[in-house]
Chains A and B, each alone.
Chain A
Amino acid sequence: MASTRGATVEFRDVSKRYAGQLAVDQLSFKVPAGRICVLVGPSGSGKTTSLKMVNRLIEPTGGSILIDGRDVLREEPTALRRRIGYVIQQVGLFPHQTIAENVGTVPRLLGWPKERIAARTEQLLALVGLEPSRFALRYPAQLSGGERQRVGVARALAAEPPVMLMDEPFGAVDPIVRDRLQNEFLRIQRDQGTTVLFVTHDIDEAIKLGDRVAVMRGGKLVQYAPPAELLAHPVNAFVAEFVGSDRGLKRLVLLTVGGVDLDTTVARAAVSPNAPILSPASTLRDALVRMLASEAQVGIVVDRDRYLGVLTLSTIGRMIRDDT
C-alpha cells in the first residue's frame, strides 16, 4: 500500500527541567524519514519525557523539535497531535466505543466523510490481523490483551500519520504474543513507511526493532547508532553493560545466513543427513539454535532447492567475536 510517507524528526538541544532537575538534557539527534528510532534506557533516563515532547503532552523547557523541518512548538497542539500516531503501553482504548469507533477516532476528529472512515477502519483491522466482520462491533472489554494492542496500533495509523510515537507498546503482553506483535509491527511499518519513535527499556526489543537506537541515561543521549554498531562498538562501559555481556550473541539476530561466508568446498551429499536445512533469509541466531539442536552441528544452506554451501559453528563463532 505504502500510502504514507514518513517525515524526518529532529531534536535540537531539547531540554526539560522539572523544579530545577533536568529530566532531559540538551538532547540532539535526527531520525531519517520512514525509519524506526528506539529510545532505550533505564527508568528515569528521560526517554518517555522525550517522546511526549514530540506531541507536546510535555512542553520542552528549551530547544526545538522539528518534524520535516517544522517546529512543533509553533503548531496548535490538537492539530499537531492529530497528525502524529500515539500508542501507549496500557493502550488506552475508549471502553465505551466499539473497536471500529476506536480505530476511526482521528479520522472522525479530522472530519473525514463516514464512508471513507468505514473503509479505512476495515482496511486497518485487516492490516493488524483482526477480521473486521468479527471485531468491528465489539467493545474493548471483549478483546484479549494482544488484540487490544493491535487495535491500538490500528487506531494510531488511522489517519496515515507521517510520524508515530510508541511508548512501551508491547510491554504488557506475554513474551510469545510480544514476539508476534513485534514482527507484525515491523511488517506494517515497512508497508506504511511511517517514521517511528519507540520507547522501551528492553535492549533486545530495541535491537530487534530499531533502525537506530538512542541509548539514554540521566536525561542525556549516551550513544545514537544502528543496532549492529551499538553492539560492536559501545561508546562506554555504561552502554556495554546495558547491551549486556552477551552482545556478541545479540548481534546474531541482526545477521542473516545469506550475509556470511559459507563453506562451499563440501558437497551436499557429504553432509550429515541430520543437519538442518537453512534459508539465506533466516537469522544467524535461529541458525545457531537449530544447528546446536541437531547432531550434525552444521547447517545446509539452500535457496529454493539450490544448494549454496554449509554454515559452520566456527563461522558463527567468528561473527560473535568480530567487532567490525
Chain B
Amino acid sequence: MTEGEPLIRWDWIASHLDEFAFRLGEHVELTVIAVGVGFVIAFALSLLILRAPRTEGPITAVTGTMYTIPSLALFALLIPYTGLTVVTAEIGLVSYTLLILVRNIVRGIRGVPADVREAAVGMGYAPREVLWRIELPLALAVIIAGVRLATISTIGLVTVTSLIGQGGFGFLILIGIQRFFTTELIAGAVLSVALAILADALLVLLQRRLTPWARAA
C-alpha cells in the first residue's frame, strides 16, 4: 500500500463497474462450466458405484486424492500439456468438485427408504423408472446440498485460476496484490464472497421449489 493512500478508494470502484461486470461474467462462466461438467462426471461415477459397489473404494480414493492436491501445483503440472487456457483451469476446477458431488449423489440415492424402493419395483416400475422417478427426486435435497458445497468452493477456487490467465474476480485480487493496490484486492475478494453467497441462496430457493413435499411434513 502506498503511503497516505486510503484502504478503499471509492472513486476507483465507481469508475470500474464495467470491469466488475466483465469479471463477473468470467467468474460465473468458469464456475458454471466446472460444476456442470463436474456434475455430469460425478453422476456417471455415482451410477457406477451404485451398480457395482466394488468400484466405490477406488473412485473415492482417486477423487479424494484429487481433492487434496494443492490447486497451484495442479495448474503448474497441467500447463505443459494444456497451456494457460480455460481447459487447464477447468480440469482443475472440475476435479475438485468430484469428491463432494459423488459422495452426495451416492448418499442421497442410498438414503431412499427400502420400503419405497420395494413398493416401486413391486408395482412394476422398470429399473430405469425407479431411478428417475423415485430415487432421484427423493435424493434431490441431498444432491443439491452437494451442488451448493461444490459451487461455493468452486467460486473460491476460480480466483486462483487468475495465475494462469483466467480467474474472474481473482484477476482483480491478483492485480491488487501485484500493484499493492488494496482497493482492487478488496473489491475482488468481496465480490467473490458475495457471488458465493448469492449462488448458495439461489440454490436453496431452487431446492425448495423442486421438493415441495419436504415442506408438507
Interface residues of A (CB under 8 A from B): 55, 57, 78-82, 86, 88-97, 105-106, 109, 138-139, 141-142, 155-156, 165
Q: Which residues of A contact B137 (CB under 8 A)?
A: 96
Interface pairs (27), CB distance under 8 Å? A55-B122, A57-B121, A79-B124, A80-B124, A81-B122, A81-B124, A86-B119, A88-B118, A90-B115, A92-B113, A92-B119, A92-B122, A94-B119, A94-B120, A94-B134, A95-B138, A96-B137, A96-B138, A96-B213, A97-B213, A109-B125, A109-B129, A141-B216, A141-B217, A142-B217, A155-B123, A165-B122
Bound Cα distance A240, B27 (Å): 77
B116 at the interface (CB under 8 A from A): yes
Most buried by A among B116, B137, B211: B116
Asked if B116 and A106 sit within 8 Å, CB to CB, the answer is no
A90-B115, A109-B129 are known; give 16 further A-B pairs, CB within 8 A. A57-B121, A57-B122, A78-B126, A79-B124, A81-B122, A82-B123, A86-B119, A86-B123, A92-B113, A94-B138, A95-B138, A96-B211, A109-B124, A138-B216, A141-B213, A142-B216
Contact with A along B103-128 (1 / 0, CB 8 A): 00000000001011111111111100
Asked if B124 and A139 sit within 8 Å, CB to CB, the answer is no
Asked if B124 and A92 sit within 8 Å, CB to CB, the answer is no
Q: How far is the CB of B209 from chain A (nearest CB, A)?
A: 13
Asked if A91 and B122 sit within 8 Å, CB to CB, the answer is no
Asked if A139 and B217 sit within 8 Å, CB to CB, the answer is yes
Bound Cα distance A139, B120 (Å): 17
Asked if B119 and A91 sit within 8 Å, CB to CB, the answer is yes
Bound Cα distance A109, B122 (Å): 12
Q: Which residues of B contact A96 (CB under 8 A)?
A: 137-138, 211, 213
Interface size classification for chain B: 20 to 34
Bound Cα distance A323, B117 (Å): 46
Asked if A139 and B213 sit within 8 Å, CB to CB, the answer is yes
Bound Cα distance A144, B126 (Å): 29
Q: Which of A79, A86, A93, A138 contacts B122 (CB 8 A)?
A: A86
Q: How far is the CB of B110 from chain A (nearest CB, A)?
A: 16
Q: Which of B118, B126, B213 contacts A92 (CB 8 A)?
A: B118
Q: How far is the CB of B199 from chain A (nearest CB, A)?
A: 25
Q: How far is the CB of B53 from chain A (nearest CB, A)?
A: 19
Bound Cα distance A155, B116 (Å): 13
